[in-house]
Structure 1
Amino acid sequence: MIPTEHLSKAVDELAPRDRPIMLHASLRSFGAPIAGGVDALLDAFLAGNRTVLVPTFTEPQFGVTPPAGLRPLRNGVDYAEFPEVPTVSEGTPYTTGCGLINPGLGVLPAAVISRTGAVRGTHPLNSFAALGPLAGQLISAQSPSDVYGPIRELAAHEGLIILIGVGLNRMTALHLAEQQAGRRLFLRWARNPDHRVSMVEVGSCSEGFPRLGAVLRPHVRTAVVGESRWQAFPARQTLAAAAAAIRADQDITRCADGDCRLCRDSIAGGPKMA
């Protein structure tokens, strides 16, 4: 059993008080149960007047087929996989109170949105949620056409990105670095509250992000809790270093799959309208 005191000690070593923290966590990485479970981990970060930011994506639940007139070129998808015209009306519009997240994100985002006081973004496919004193300020920066606004705010407040037992391929902030390096973000489709379909920004493939490890290593601080290795990155410096590396070598984020359409189109600059 992982004692809560071990969590608090690691948090205090890596995360200054009063700062916003973006978390990506695997509870399996601890190798043993945490006393108090995911709520104890969340409470350890919220202590000290910190704010916790997490991705709460819902692309599987609220994504829809692209209408024929909203299919940009070089957009990381094969439109042949979709019908030319949607044959049925798909789904209902996303709401911030839907209570849903992509199950692949793990239990921490679900714990955040279940808490009283949590604030969740309006992006229908790639929302973020936050809890703590700066939650409203971080999340208000997001819109369907500005998906990574909360991460920019995190950096502006000298916040941290902490990876708990996961690698750089789970660091969502690196998609913002891609954008800052000049790539256009991919576009996907969701229903507006009026049920019309519109395009919204999303990220690309992240499986090549570990190739940025050498560039980011000077900025990282680490801790170990149980069998879980924690890595803490200052958001502002990390984004600047990653964006500079991508501008210097666009191929640096290419994943191992030579046929990855997401990598190919992102490295080429991202979507363009016909």
Structure 2
Amino acid sequence: MILAERLITAIDDLDLAGRPVMLHASLRSFGTAIAGGADTLLNALLKRGCSVMVPAFTEPQFSLPAPVGMRPANNGFDYAAMPCETILPQGPAYSADCGLINPHLGTLPAVLVGRVDAERGRHPLNSFAAVGPRAAELIDVQSPDDVYGPIRELADRDGAILLVGVGLNRMTALHLAEQRSGRRLFRRWARGEDGEVRMVEVGSCSEGFPRLEPVLSRLARTTVVGASRWRAYPARQVLAAATAAIAADQDITRCPDAQCVRCRDAIAGGPADL
């Protein structure tokens, strides 16, 4: 059983105290249970003065089929697999208090979103959520038209990206580096707060991000808790290094699937204007 004291020691080893932290974690990676589960990990970070931010995506719950007339080319999407005419399903628009989350994100983001003091962004498909003293400052900058505002804010506030037992394919911040390298973000479809269907920006395939390991490894501070390898990266430096690497070699993020449409279109620059 892993106790809170061991987690706090790891947080101090990585020099995270007092900083905003973008957290990506696999609880299974510890190889044994944490006493108190995900709440204990969150509380350990909060006890050391961190604000903790996580992806809180809702693409399965609030995404819509591509409407006719809103289908840009090179958009990482196979429109041929869709009917020419699409009847859009009825349903509510996303709201920050919906309580829903993509189940594939894991236990910890769901626990954070369920906290009464959690702040959550307004992007209908790719919101972020945070708790802690700077939570509102991190999250308030997100809007349906600015999906990665919270990551920019994290970097501007000397924040860190903490990978707990997961790889670079889980580092959401690298999508902002893609955008900064000159790529256009993909468009997907959801209802806006007014109930009208709109396009919003989302990220691309992330399965090729481990190819950035040689570029980013020098920036990481590491420790081990149980069987879980922790890596903490300074967000500002990660974004700068990854942006430069992608700009120099767009193919560096290509995933192992040679048929991946999202990688193909992202590397080519992303969606065209309608």
In structure 2, distance between residues paired with 1:138 and 1:85: 40
Secondary structure in 1 aligned to 2:216? Answer: helix
Query: Deviation at 1:57?
Result: 0.1
Secondary structure in 2 aligned to 1:49? Answer: coil
Deviates more, 1:47-56 or 1:81-90: 81-90
Residue deviations 1:25-58 (CA, integer Å, cap 9, x gap): 0000000010111110110111122100000000
Query: Deviation at 1:90?
Result: 3.6
- Cα 1:212–1:88 change in 2 (3 A) is closer
Deviates more, 1:153-162 or 1:40-49: 40-49
- Cα 1:88–1:202 change in 2 (3 A) is closer
Q: Which amino acid aligns with 2:217?
A: R
Q: TM-score, normalised by structure 1?
A: 0.98
**Aligned residues of 2:16 and 2:160 also touching (Cα < 8 A):** no
Secondary structure in 2 aligned to 1:24? Answer: strand
In structure 1, distance between residues paired with 2:85 and 2:135: 40
Residue deviations 1:221-252 (CA, integer Å, cap 9, x gap): 10100000001000000000000000000000
Secondary structure in 1 aligned to 2:48? Answer: helix
Secondary structure in 2 aligned to 1:247? Answer: helix
Aligned counterparts, 1:217-228, within 5 A: 217-228=217-228
Deviates more, 1:141-150 or 1:14-23: 14-23
- Cα 1:91–1:83 change in 2 (3 A) is farther
Match of residue 2 from structure 2: 2
Is it true that 1:17 corresponds to 2:17 in the alignment? yes
Query: Deviation at 1:187?
Result: 0.4
Secondary structure in 2 aligned to 1:21? Answer: strand
Q: Which amino acid aligns with 2:81?
A: E
Secondary structure in 2 aligned to 1:54? Answer: strand
Query: Deviation at 1:88?
Result: 4.5
Stretches of 4+ moved more than 6 A in 1?
Answer: none
Deviates more, 1:241-250 or 1:5-14: 5-14
Secondary structure in 2 aligned to 1:218? Answer: helix
Match of residue 260 from structure 2: 260
**Aligned residues of 2:62 and 2:191 also touching (Cα < 8 A):** yes
Residue deviations 1:74-126 (CA, integer Å, cap 9, x gap): 00001122222222534321111110000010111111111121100000000
Tell me, which stretches of 5 or more residues in structure 1 are unaligned?
Answer: none
**Aligned residues of 1:15 and 1:160 also touching (Cα < 8 A):** no
**Aligned residues of 2:63 and 2:190 also touching (Cα < 8 A):** yes
Aligned counterparts, 1:1-274, within 5 A: 1-274=1-274
In structure 1, distance between residues paired with 2:80 and 2:46: 46
**Aligned residues of 1:251 and 1:267 also touching (Cα < 8 A):** yes
Q: How many residues align?
A: 274
Query: Deviation at 1:64?
Result: 0.3
In structure 2, distance between residues paired with 1:84 and 1:96: 32
Tell me, which stretches of 5 or more residues in structure 2 are unaligned?
Answer: none
**Aligned residues of 2:67 and 2:88 also touching (Cα < 8 A):** no
Q: Percent identity between the aligned chains?
A: 63
Q: Which amino acid aligns with 2:167?
A: G
